[in-house]
């Protein structure tokens, strides 16, 4: 019965574990890399040599999350819908941020051309770091830029300008109050540029506008997975195809949180039922074991006769006890029964000149003081438990003992 009950339970456990494991593996993809950048969900990577990555390995509803590598595998390319491509220099999955730059590392040129448009993409400037400021780009002689706190932007100065001792600088958009600056410099354009809050403290010296810009994305929300050491991926909820959840980080795939919960339930309930079945089986087996039968035992049978044991025995009074014979051990210490040389009550050996008292019928003897105290509490022999009749005279055994010529070692008295 136990085997037939456990077999379906074990099969049920196996089915649940296999189903949940297979289900989780469908949504977990290996981490790829390009230019030393780890690429995992929600980002995907366009593979080379005609290999195609599973679409569910990236947040496919927005193709912007699909990245690519340049031919030399030195740059990770981000394609935006409303502007030219950018390169990604870092991805932080815990804060859901990326560090981007121009492929030629000249973001000021993109600002001038109004070619830094994030609309239509899931990314935006990190609001905790950046604000947009109206700046004026100027082309000035080198001597002016050296006299004023204006840092030349090297990537905007071509060889001809450098040969003519000219450079491009940047200043606040409104107004340009310095007369020398307005007379000697040419205004190129006025544009809005993202600046870090912390860089504003450097005024009047401008920061390097060619440094990386940090962008954030808000959907899908996967930062909790990264913070807990897990990876993010699509769940297999048929009601919501775009729902994401966390999975254990493993190169061979892992189990999602919901899968772990299902497996715990799937293993816990059948396991508890299995323990109940096993316990019931053991109890039933114990009930069917026959009780111990002395006849089938190899040990000798001990039969106790209750005929000689009175149903109710009390102690004897002093007068009755005094009617039991006394024996005085002689000088030699010789006893009638050499094997009985110890009082069974006090467990002391008999010594010469000690007085013993015997029990009629069974002829067991003890120290008189020991047996007297015993009989006051219990009217039976301490050895055989017999309850002899009260004798008014000395038993024939002891009478013959007194008349025996060999009784020099014992003296009887009453």
What does the pLDDT look like over 350-389, one tens digit per residue?
888 888 888 887 888 889 999 899 888 888 888 888 776 6
For 165, the token pair is 């001792």
The Cα–Cα gap between 198 and 50 comes to: 45
Is pLDDT at 40 greater than 50 in this prediction? yes
pLDDT value of residue 79: 93
Cross-strand bridge partners of residue 375: none
Domain carrying residue 369: 318-413
pLDDT value of residue 24: 42
More confident residue, 370 or 240: 370
Least confident of 101-110, 193-202, 221-230, 303-312: 303-312
More confident residue, 310 or 258: 258
More confident residue, 16 or 111: 111
- Residue 410 CA: distances (Å) to CA of 126, 202, 259, 362, 400: 121, 129, 97, 19, 12
Q: What integer is the mean pLDDT of 382-411?
A: 50
The Cα–Cα gap between 109 and 252 comes to: 45
CATH number of the domain that 396 lies in?
A: 3.30.40.10
Burial 213-227 (b: 16+ CB within 10 A, else e): bbbbbeebebbebbe
Q: What integer is the mean pLDDT of 55-66?
A: 90
Asked, for residue 381, whether it belongs to a domain, the answer is: yes
Asked, for residue 300, whether it belongs to a domain, the answer is: no
Percent of the chain's residues with pLDDT above 90: 23
CB distance 340 to 365 below 8 Å: yes
| Confidence grade of residue 308 (pLDDT, cut at 50, 70, 90) | very low
According to the per-residue pLDDT averaged within each range, which of 27-31, 194-198, 369-373 is highest? Answer: 369-373
The Cα–Cα gap between 344 and 337 comes to: 14
pLDDT value of residue 42: 94
pLDDT value of residue 320: 85
Is pLDDT at 268 greater than 90 in this prediction? no
Asked, for residue 350, whether it belongs to a domain, the answer is: yes
E strands within 206-348?
213-217, 230-234, 244-248, 326-329
What is the chain's mean pLDDT, rounded? 75
pLDDT value of residue 30: 83
pLDDT value of residue 180: 64
The Cα–Cα gap between 62 and 39 comes to: 16
Is pLDDT at 199 greater than 60 in this prediction? yes
First to last CA, the chain: 78
Asked, for residue 349, whether it belongs to a domain, the answer is: yes
Residue 307 DSSP label: S
Residue 73 gets the label, from left (phi > 0), alpha (psi -120 to 50) or beta, of left
pLDDT value of residue 78: 95
| Confidence grade of residue 398 (pLDDT, cut at 50, 70, 90) | very low
Q: What integer is the mean pLDDT of 392-414?
A: 39
pLDDT value of residue 106: 92
Chain position carrying tokens 């990236």: 58
Omega cis (within 30) before 16? no
Residue 125 exposure: Cα atoms within 13 Å on the Cβ side: 15
User: Per residue in 67-85, pLDDT tens?
Assistant: 999 888 899 999 999 988 9
E strands within 21-94?
32-34, 37-39, 44-45, 66-69, 76-78, 86-92
According to the per-residue pLDDT averaged within each range, which of 14-18, 21-25, 326-330, 331-335 is highest? Answer: 326-330
Asked, for residue 348, whether it belongs to a domain, the answer is: yes
The Cα–Cα gap between 224 and 8 comes to: 39
Asked, for residue 34, whether it belongs to a domain, the answer is: no
| Confidence grade of residue 148 (pLDDT, cut at 50, 70, 90) | low
User: Per residue in 283-303, pLDDT tens?
Assistant: 877 766 655 544 444 544 444
Domain count along the chain: 1
The Cα–Cα gap between 58 and 67 comes to: 10
Is pLDDT at 49 greater than 60 in this prediction? yes
| Confidence grade of residue 169 (pLDDT, cut at 50, 70, 90) | confident
Asked, for residue 364, whether it belongs to a domain, the answer is: yes
CB distance 380 to 386 below 8 Å: yes
The phi and psi torsions of 265 (rounded to 5 degrees) equal -65, -45
The Cα–Cα gap between 264 and 19 comes to: 13
Asked, for residue 228, whether it belongs to a domain, the answer is: no
Cross-strand bridge partners of residue 196: 130
User: Per residue in 102-139, pLDDT tens?
Assistant: 999 999 999 999 889 999 999 999 999 998 888 888 88
């Amino acid at each position: 019965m136990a085997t037939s009950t456990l077999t379906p339970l074990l099969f049920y456990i196996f089915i649940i574990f296999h189903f949940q494991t297979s289900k989780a593996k469908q949504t977990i993809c290996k981490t790829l890399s390009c230019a030393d950048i780890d690429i995992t969900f929600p980002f995907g990577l366009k593979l080379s040599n005609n290999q195609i990555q599973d679409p569910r390995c990236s947040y496919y509803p927005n193709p912007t999350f699909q990245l690519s590598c340049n031919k030399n595998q030195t740059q990770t390319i981000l394609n935006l819908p409303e502007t030219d491509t950018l390169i990604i220099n870092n991805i932080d999955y815990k804060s859901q941020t990326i560090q981007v730059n121009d492929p030629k590392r000249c973001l000021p040129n993109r600002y001038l051309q109004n070619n830094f448009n994030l609309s239509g993409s899931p990314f935006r400037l990190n609001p905790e770091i950046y604000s947009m400021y109206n700046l004026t780009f100027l082309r000035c002689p080198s001597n002016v830029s050296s006299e004023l706190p204006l840092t030349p932007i090297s990537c905007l100065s071509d060889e001809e300008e450098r040969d003519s001792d000219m450079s491009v600088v940047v200043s606040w958009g409104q107004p340009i109050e310095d007369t020398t600056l307005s007379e000697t410099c040419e205004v190129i354009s006025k544009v809005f540029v993202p600046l870090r809050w912390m860089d504003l403290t450097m005024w009047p010296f401008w920061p390097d506008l060619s440094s990386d810009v940090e962008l954030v994305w808000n959907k899908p929300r996967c930062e909790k997975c990264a913070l807990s050491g897990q990876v993010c991926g699509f769940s297999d909820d048929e009601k919501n195809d775009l729902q994401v959840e966390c999975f254990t980080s493993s190169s061979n795939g892992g189990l999602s949180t919901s899968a772990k919960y299902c497996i715990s339930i799937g293993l816990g309930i059948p396991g508890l039922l299995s323990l109940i079945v096993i316990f019931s089986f053991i109890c039933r087996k114990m009930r069917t074991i026959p009780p111990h039968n002395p006849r089938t035992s190899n040990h000798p049978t001990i039969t106790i006769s209750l005929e000689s044991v009175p149903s109710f025995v009390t102690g004897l009074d002093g007068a009755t006890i005094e009617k039991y014979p006394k024996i005085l051990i002689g000088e030699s210490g010789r006893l009638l029964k050499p094997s009985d040389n110890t009082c069974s009550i006090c467990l002391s050996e008999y010594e010469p000149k000690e007085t013993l008292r015997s029990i009629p019928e069974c002829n067991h003897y003890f120290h008189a003081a020991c047996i007297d105290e015993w009989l006051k509490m219990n009217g039976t022999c301490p050895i055989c438990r017999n309850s002899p009749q009260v004798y008014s005279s000395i038993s024939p055994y002891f009478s013959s003992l007194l008349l025996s010529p060999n009784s020099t070692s014992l003296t009887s008295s009453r």
